Amino acid sequence: MRKKLVRALGSIAVVLLLSGVISILEYRRMSDYVSELIASNIKSVGLSQKLADITQEYDLQMLAVVVTNDISLMPDFDLDDFNAQADSLKASIKSPKALPMVDSVVVSFDAYMRTSMKFDEVFLADSVNTGEWFFGTLQPRYTSFRDDINTLNEAIHEDLIANSANFDAGFYRSIIPGVVSVGAGLLLIFLLMYFIIANYVNPLYRMSDGLDAYKASGRRYTYTFEGDDQLANINAGITDLMEENQELKKRVKALKDRQ
């Protein structure tokens, strides 16, 4: 009987332990992968915004030169820093959809920068109106750059949303083994309960009822059940004792009758 109970309880423990380990490993694997993607998306958003801010500041400083008509206010642009930020942005992007958009941003920026380098020549030329050139020639290049970087930002945000959704879906996938294990554990517990009640509790009640009936009315103890465990051995012993006790009572009665 001890072995049967140990096997039954042990099987429940094994199922719960294995499902728990699987759930933890699956969640950690999914969490590490998606967290890396989300961190990459956040870094890409920051770098993209930095490129947009650098270029916007440069464009506004050039506008100040046009408005004040003072060439001494002409700003310097750190092209090496911009290229380094652009390279970092390209390295941080994992989405195949967004990656080509970085090249588009670089191309549109290059067109804007090459146009802006002609500003000194335009400013000093008497035949060209600086304001008209700025808004008619340079600003369309800047607008194109802004459109490209906005398109890139939208793609990065879409990828971030998709990765967040995948994280949520992966979380639910990772807890499925746990839910299944809990369900299986409950089922095994109910089966174990049924097994214990059917094979041990009910026989004990019947043995007790048989003993009560024997003590109350002397009715023969006839309860039997199949099995080869300790409970069946106890029942067989009780049956033998009851039969011996009945036989002894008959002998005692016969002796009394003779006297």
pLDDT mean by block of 10 residues, the chain; 259 residues: 64 70 70 71 83 88 86 80 82 79 86 87 78 89 90 83 71 68 74 78 82 79 74 80 78 73
Inter-residue contact 197 to 75 (CB < 8 Å) = no
Given this model, what pLDDT does residue 43 score? Answer: 81
Given this model, what pLDDT does residue 170 score? Answer: 64
Rg (CA), the chain: 44
- pTM assigned to the model: 0.56
Given this model, what pLDDT does residue 82 score? Answer: 83
Residue 27 burial class via C-beta count within 10 angstroms: exposed 0-12, middle 13-18, buried 19 and up: middle
Given this model, what pLDDT does residue 218 score? Answer: 74
Taking residue 58's Cβ as centre, other Cβ atoms within 10 Å add up to 19
